[in-house]
Structure 1
Amino acid sequence: MTYPLQSLLFRLDAETAHRATIAALRGWGAIGAPLGRAVERAGVTLAGLHFPNRIGLAAGLDKNAEAVPGLFALGFGAVEVGTLTPRPQPGNPRPRLFRLVEDQAVINRMGFNNDGIDAALARIAKLGARRGVLGINVGANKDSDDRVADYALGVGKAAAHADYITINVSSPNTPGLRDLQSRPALDELLAASDAARQGAKRVPLFLKVAPDLDRAGMEGAIQAAIDHHIDALIVSNTTISRPALHSPHRNETGGLSGAPLRDLARAKLAEAVAIAAGALPLISAGGIDGPEEARRRFDAGAVLVQVYSALVYQGPAMVRAIAKAL
């Protein structure tokens, strides 16, 4: 399946195409957003928030909150920006983003490249009325001496601007970050994050975990989330595992997303549903590329789904197609 401008974007290296997409969405937000809005279909309430539909954009596309109105104009019920760190950082050396066209997949090792949380929040503060739910995904700086403090700082700053905040401890591209998914490190981090959001606006907190957690790791993460009043679990981030791939880029290091993640994402959702037993709402991400796959995740127990990599191959019309089909 192709879409307008795909052939042009695919002539560019993946990161240049990504920047061009953000620029186009920023322009669309200024010109076309008044004509576009989230598709009001099969909405749901989660953590006290009304989602006009159950299709969200996963973090990673709009890292710096540059194109939020344009993204809502595509029809998303929720847009998640970030990952944002306390201080700006360049991320890992380029090249660090790869299209695996033969596999309908992406490998990235971006490394939380972003302008810093203050710059993004300044953009968000100027947005005015939103057309859906806005999530802010926070992380730690690569060279931080105190990563727990980084997360607490991010939560505290984002709370005044976000509809929800996602704690991202599952990226494989910051050394040692995934260690924070294990207890007792996760208990310390979630306790600090929970404390940081207290006040006039107790913003919902979501936790994003990796699909590479084993059963014991998933059990620990879910219990920690429940113990520290986390409002939902996002299952899951990219994987460092490598199913059979055909692209010349198949051996690049980084997190794999897209179609090859589908089976693992389904399995981890089913595992999380069984472990949580209704005590924690679940959001499914990974390998969702159309209405049929979205339905499978909802039937399996997800409250919401998030998409990202499939947009590279299916195009922006996929968002409204899923929302309308549901």
Structure 2
Amino acid sequence: MNLYPLARPFLFGMDPEAAHDLTLNALAKTQNTVFDTLYRQPFVRDPLSLAGLQFPNRVGLAAGLDKNARCIDGLGAMGFGFVEVGTVTPKAQPGNDKPRMFRLPKAQALINRLGFNNEGLEAFVAHVQQAQFRKLGRLLGLNIGKNALTPIENATDDYLTALAGVYPHADYVTVNISSPNTKNLRALQSDEALDGLLGALVERRAQLSAQHGRNVPLFLKIAPDLDETQVGVIAATLLKHGMDGVIATNTTLAREAVQGMPHAHETGGLSGIPAAEPSNRVIRQLRAALGSAFPIIGVGGILSAQDALAKIKAGANVVQIYTGLIYKGPALVTEVANALQKMHR
């Protein structure tokens, strides 16, 4: 059943963040009930072994949609093989001032400057523990960040706190250093800062692995607004520290593709169709720098099966969707999963 085409005009008639909140509240109330048939999609089985994990299919949900991990089962019912929730910060924080989310329908795009608004680590972990998703053999990624009020020189402390908090409940953990909406955060992508952060995280992961008796893969999420030299430095640092994978990419600060459109001047990260090619460029550069075996998750501008295939051809192993879900609804998940399954048969 695909009711989304009926619901979309109503949702698009609302303020974007109000529509977002309404949707998440509805998912939280209806997940694991008979009402999940309103958005449930057939599951496409297309297993893949990657980063020491068994991915049930090649389509995931990108972080940012469910920051508080309230709707893991509802989102999982849409056919995702893996779901990533967060970004969570150690302490609760309100994020940036509203309005902070804007639609650009002509470009099938969104701009957001939410700013890691979330209820904090304790509430996040409690929600994760209530979800049934992992018991179905699907994978859950937990995405961590720093609090806005934490000085950038103390950022590592926040990441270490968050890693320890989410570790027992994650199939993989994503280190988000690429949101454009937390001041100075992207500075952590620079050579020295990244080296220090990843070194500390990998050391803490070794302690947590011994403590919990399992090794949880660590992925790094990077921005599309990097030049080839910067991508090369990041690739070398990932390999140096034995990171398990990279997620490419977060939202873009570029506006060339949406110039002159309503809201194009708003600050924040641009996602959707305009993010597709910048993301694909970074994926191609990463694949060239990292070799054929290193896991890459491709995200940015997937609104059709063709968009997903382009990510795989650029060098991604699996893909994630966010803005496409808002424009196309849950049927997109099945469409993409089917296309990628056919491609790999």
Give yes or no for TM over 0.5.
Answer: yes
Aligned partner of 2:275 in structure 1 is 261
Aligned partner of 2:249 in structure 1 is 236
Q: How does 1:1-326 map to 2 (within 5 A)?
A: 3-32=5-34, 36=40, 39-128=43-132, 130=134, 131=136, 132-145=138-151, 146-198=154-206, 199=210, 200-245=213-258, 246-326=260-340
Judge which range, 289-298 or 205-214, deviates more.
289-298
SS at match of 2:6: coil
SS at match of 1:106: strand
Give the CA deviation at 1:325.
2.7
Contact 2:41 2:334 in 1 (8 A): no
One-letter amino acid matched to 1:314: K
Task: Provide the aligned C-alpha RMSD in A.
Answer: 1.6
Contact 2:41 2:331 in 1 (8 A): no
- Cα distance in 2 for residues equivalent to 1:226 and 1:60: 26
Give the CA deviation at 1:38.
7.2
- Cα distance in 1 for residues equivalent to 2:121 and 2:42: 25
SS at match of 1:123: helix
Larger fraction in helix: 2
TM-score when normalising by structure 1: 0.96
Structure 1: gaps spanning 5 or more residues: none
Aligned partner of 2:343 in structure 1 is none
SS at match of 1:30: coil
Contact 1:58 1:308 in 2 (8 A): yes
- Identity across aligned pairs (percent)? 45
How many residues end up aligned between the 2 structures? 325
Structure 2: gaps spanning 5 or more residues: 341-345
- Cα distance in 1 for residues equivalent to 2:34 and 2:79: 12
SS at match of 2:32: helix
Judge which range, 258-267 or 11-20, deviates more.
258-267
Give the CA deviation at 1:310.
1.1
Give the CA deviation at 1:20.
0.8
Give the CA deviation at 1:126.
2.0
TM-score when normalising by structure 2: 0.90
Contact 1:159 1:202 in 2 (8 A): no
Contact 1:165 1:206 in 2 (8 A): yes
Q: 1:14 to 1:115 in 2, by over 3 A?
A: same
Runs of 4+ in 1 over 6 A off after TM superposition: none
Render the CA deviation track for 1:29-78: whole Å, top value 9, x for unaligned.
Answer: 13148875772432211122111110010000000000000011000011
